[in-house]
């Protein structure tokens, strides 16, 4: 429960392919953002997008109902809000209609961010307060896209967003059941070809360890790694892919929650190929990501408009407004 406080609250809302999430945080006396509330609803906003090109009516209904609750919570606590949508809505042909309905029925301005902006926010969230000279490589595998960032300190030096994600690949190759070796080979060839087209073949001074910031990566690394906290090597990821591909759906559900189990083979295979393409030794899962970046970005905007010289500037953040007819 959010406690009453004179300190401002910041709210990050994230509409992905698999779920919608909200996180509320406030600035501590020590200057650190402290989370006071979070929620995840596995409403599958991307349902229908990768197969038919549009969000299904059922998915739109679930999304609007969830965002209505999120907006009410933000209004109750007078939170500064940024609501972002990623790959599924980027690709949806009915994007404009969905955004209009969200605005009219919830009062939220849902912002469809580009792949590059998504990567920037992930970088900001994961690397906030990182030493200025430290080099980092980030990988985030979502349902519809994969973001890769090379950064020094908190500043990105390279941002890449690829239309490759665990849900998208699962639907394209139908990997929810057992995956024969021949199909696994075709998937590897397809992913490798797309990586060669989209990513540089060689990056100087690349870190030896990549940071993985998504739920899919955390699940795969936890399954693949022998020792908790040490991350997973290339070889461990390859063994994990082979093991998961041979499992039945029921066996996978013994290791992962149902929706994750359905997409885990594609997610693991995508992580394995990205790690091998980049040539890093292992991937270490982290718990920060996109929503943390949205919160840090909101805080930076708040501090900017609070400065005396910027007193008349228009704030970039928004507060949730009352829905039409409420």
Q: Tell me: the pLDDT tens digits for 170-223? A: 999 989 889 999 999 999 999 999 999 998 876 777 899 999 999 999 999 999
Query: Quick one: 55 and 81 in the same domain?
Result: yes
Compute the distance between CA of residue 56 and CA of residue 152 in angstroms, rounded to an integer.
Answer: 41
Burial 156-186 (b: 16+ CB within 10 A, else e): beebbbbebbbbbbbbebebbeebeeeebee
Q: Is 70 exceeded by the pLDDT of residue 144?
A: yes
Residue 294 lies in a domain: no
Q: CATH number of the domain that 84 lies in?
A: 3.30.420.40
What is the reported pTM? 0.88
Query: Quick one: 263 and 180 in the same domain?
Result: yes
Query: What does the DSSP assignment read for 131-158?
Result: -TT-EEEEEEE-SS-EEEEEEETTEEEE
Residue 208 structural domain: 129-285
Mean pLDDT, rounded, for 9-21: 96
Query: Quick one: 102 and 191 in the same domain?
Result: no
Query: Quick one: 110 and 165 in the same domain?
Result: no
3-state secondary structure of 99: helix
Q: CATH number of the domain that 267 lies in?
A: 3.30.420.150
Residue 298 lies in a domain: no
Q: According to the model, what pLDDT value does residue 216 have?
A: 95
Residue 4 lies in a domain: no
| 292's tokens | 């943390």
Terminus-to-terminus CA distance in the chain, angstroms? Answer: 25
Confidence tier at 161 by pLDDT (50, 70, 90): very high
Query: Quick one: 88 and 143 in the same domain?
Result: no
Query: Quick one: 109 and 159 in the same domain?
Result: no
Tens of pLDDT, residue by residue over 32-78, are 899 999 999 999 999 989 999 999 999 999 999 999 999 999 999 99
Residue 30 lies in a domain: yes
Residue 295 lies in a domain: no
Query: Quick one: 204 and 58 in the same domain?
Result: no
Query: Quick one: 100 and 154 in the same domain?
Result: no
Confidence tier at 316 by pLDDT (50, 70, 90): very low
Residue 269 lies in a domain: yes
Query: Quick one: 105 and 136 in the same domain?
Result: no
Q: Which residues contact 305 (CB under 8 A, 6 or more apart)?
A: 311, 313, 314, 315, 316
Tens of pLDDT, residue by residue over 284-314, are 999 999 999 999 999 998 875 555 443 343 3
Query: Quick one: 170 and 231 in the same domain?
Result: yes
Query: Quick one: 187 and 63 in the same domain?
Result: no
Mean pLDDT, rounded, for 119-134: 95
Which of the two residues, 186 and 230, has the higher pLDDT score? 186
Percentage of residues in the chain having pLDDT higher than 70: 90
Residue 160 lies in a domain: yes
Q: According to the model, what pLDDT value does residue 326 have?
A: 31
Q: According to the model, what pLDDT value does residue 323 have?
A: 40
Confidence tier at 228 by pLDDT (50, 70, 90): low
How many domains, in total, are found in the chain?
Answer: 2
Residue 264 lies in a domain: yes
């Amino acid at each position: 429960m959010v406690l009453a406080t004179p300190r401002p609250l910041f709210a990050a809302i994230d509409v992905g392919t698999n779920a919608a999430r909200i996180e509320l945080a406030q600035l501590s006396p020590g200057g650190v953002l402290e989370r006071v509330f979070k929620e995840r609803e596995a409403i599958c906003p991307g349902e229908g997008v990768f197969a038919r090109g549009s969000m299904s009516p059922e998915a739109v209904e679930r999304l609007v109902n969830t965002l209505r609750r999120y907006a009410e919570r933000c209004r109750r606590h007078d939170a500064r809000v940024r609501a972002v949508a990623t790959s599924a809505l980027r690709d949806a042909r009915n994007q404009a209609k969905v955004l209009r309905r969200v605005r009219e029925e919830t009062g939220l301005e849902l912002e469809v961010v580009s792949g590059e902006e998504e990567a920037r926010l992930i970088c900001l969230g994961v690397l906030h307060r990182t030493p200025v000279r430290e080099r980092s490589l980030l990988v985030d595998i979502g349902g519809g896209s994969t973001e890769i960032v090379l950064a020094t300190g908190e500043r990105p030096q390279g941002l890449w967003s690829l239309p490759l994600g665990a849900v998208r690949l699962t639907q394209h190759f139908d990997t929810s059941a057992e995956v024969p070796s021949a199909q696994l080979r075709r998937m590897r060839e397809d992913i490798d070809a797309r990586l060669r087209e989209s990513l540089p073949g060689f990056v100087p001074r690349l870190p030896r360890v990549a940071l993985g910031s998504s739920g899919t990566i955390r699940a795969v690394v936890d399954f693949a790694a022998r020792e908790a906290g040490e991350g997973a090597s290339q070889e461990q990821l390859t063994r994990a892919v082979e093991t998961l591909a041979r499992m039945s759906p029921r066996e996978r559900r013994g290791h992962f929650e149902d929706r994750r189990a359905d997409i885990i083979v594609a997610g693991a295979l995508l992580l394995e190929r990205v790690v091998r393409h980049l040539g890093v030794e292992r991937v270490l899962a982290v718990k920060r990501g996109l929503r943390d970046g949205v919160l840090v970005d909101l805080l930076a905007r708040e501090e900017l408009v609070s400065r005396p010289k910027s007193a008349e500037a228009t704030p970039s953040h928004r507060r949730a407004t009352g829905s039409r007819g409420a």
